[in-house]
Amino acid sequence: MTTAGRPTRAEALDRLARFGIRGAEAYLVDLIPLIEMIWADGDAQPEEVEELFGYVRRHVARLNDLAGYTMLKEADALAFVQRFLRERPDPALLAELRELVAPLRLSSSNEADNEAVRSCLLSSCLHIAARSRAPGGGRQRITDLERTTFFEILDSVESREDG
């Protein structure tokens, strides 16, 4: 465990494996905060899910482009998120998985890349929250539950010095 209390990359991969998330699926762990935002108000609304699916498509394309080959198929990434959308997952499970985002996706030696992933993730969380519909239709402001969830996500992905 790092001195800041974050798991190491190896520990994070071991923890993911206990949830059945292995291999290239580890690169999808940064979709978990987006799923948390969708469920923050207790309802996975179609507009929010649509926003997530758009992010998934861009995310897979970006990862494959960086790898230089088809490391992940879009269908596999969509299947990954679908298992968290069928019914509301335990919020504690999502929070535990979210804690693995930083050691797995935000810990490269290239801080500019880390910041790009972090910024895209946080921006997408806000886009999802903004897609909520008010009861009876119309647009809704970001709810207190979504705001609280966003700040929890922000805290877990912000840069921390080890040591």
Q: What is the pLDDT of residues 115-152, one digit of tens each?
A: 999 999 999 999 999 887 665 666 667 888 999 999 99
Confidence of residue 155 (pLDDT cuts 50, 70, 90): very high
Confidence of residue 5 (pLDDT cuts 50, 70, 90): confident
Q: Is the separation of the CB atoms in 161 and 6 below 8 Å?
A: no
Average pLDDT over residues 4-12: 85
Mean pLDDT of the chain: 89
- The pLDDT of residue 135 is 59
- The pLDDT of residue 163 is 39
**Is pLDDT above 50 for 73?**
yes
- The pLDDT of residue 136 is 60
* Type of residue numbered 150: F
Does this model's pTM top 0.85? My answer is yes
Average pLDDT over residues 29-54: 94
Q: Is the separation of the CB atoms in 99 and 87 below 8 Å?
A: no
**Is pLDDT above 80 for 4?**
no
- The pLDDT of residue 108 is 85
